[in-house]
Amino acid sequence: MEKKIENLRWKPMWVSHLGCIKGCLDYLNIDISNAWLFGATGHAFIINIAKEVVCPSGPTAWRTEMLFNLGKNIGYTIDGIFGFKSKDDFFEKQKKTWEYIKNAIDEDIPCYGWELDIPEFYVIYGYDDKGYYFSGPLCDSGKGPKMWKEVGDTKIGVLEMYSVKPGQSADDVKTVKEAFESALEHSKSPEKWIFPKYKAGLDGFDIWKKTLEAGDADGLGMAFNSAVWSECRNYAVLFLKEAKERLDGKVGPLFDEAISQYEIVAQNLKKVAEAFPLIERKPEHIKDETRISTAVECLTTARSAEASGLEALETILRKLQS
């Protein structure tokens, strides 16, 4: 038996998790901008850096529940199954997930999951007797089947599969307020969001810069983190502009400072991404003193603006809470 949702594909983004959610939302005709998705979920303001080598795992190796919790504010709900290869119930979780995803696809409910190909997220748009058909990084138009018994059976060993359904959106004030609350909390690197070998917020910028200066940064990790966090801060600016327009009667003018600071962050992280490009990456880039010097200078400027930007978010948040 085979069932496919032909019009369901991911939306190409460096943050593959949101690229998959956006693809599902587009299929469900939930009309929100990329910026509103990034900002309202808090992700536009996130940074997560591995302490030792700027590992490429940074963008995905954090507790991402805020994307589910805050997603309810913009009209979607997520449900699914999570498991670990190291646990005794892993095969049962695989079977349960297989049935869960098939039932969802049968009902035209879009789904997505982790590491159906490389360690990224993928939209699941169908299945046959053997496994899943999916769309995502390195396979925009589609690929499969991926044997259901192979999902999660990897070196990372995480089984993570979800369905996305429409929900009731919250008002814009609640959406912005809760996004800022979560982003500010995340920036302090609490265990609630961050794993032990990673740092977020300003500490993340410090680790990133220090590791690069010391010559310890991984080339792939440097390029991937630069691409992801540059994308996030670009959408942070666009989200703040959209939020200012939506909330103009209440706190609109207060957004100007936040916008100006995050524009500086975005511009400088873009320069870092240009110094260490992901698509055109070469092994010698990570040893190039000019590229390193440029990136260190840009990270220093971005870190300073990020600090001011976080203060601006706090100012807006206090006003919204009053």
pLDDT tens-digit series, residues 237-291: 999 999 999 998 778 788 999 999 999 999 999 999 999 999 999 999 999 999 9
Report the DSSP beta bridge partners of residue 165.
Answer: 77
Binning pLDDT at 50, 70 and 90, where does residue 152 land? Answer: very high
- For the chain, give the number of residues: 322
Which residue blocks in the chain are alpha helix, DSSP H?
A: 16-27, 34-40, 65-71, 90-106, 172-186, 201-213, 219-246, 248-251, 255-275, 289-321
Average pLDDT of the chain, as a whole number:
96
The answer for residues whose C-beta is within 8 angstroms of residue 299's C-beta and 6 or more apart is 205, 208, 209, 212, 268, 272
Cis peptide before 145 (omega within 30 of 0): yes
Report whether pLDDT(190) > 80: yes
Mean pLDDT, range 140-153, rounded to an integer: 95
Rg of the chain's alpha carbons, rounded to an integer?
A: 20
Binning pLDDT at 50, 70 and 90, where does residue 187 land? Answer: very high
d(CA 112, CA 163): 6
pTM beyond cutoff 0.75: yes
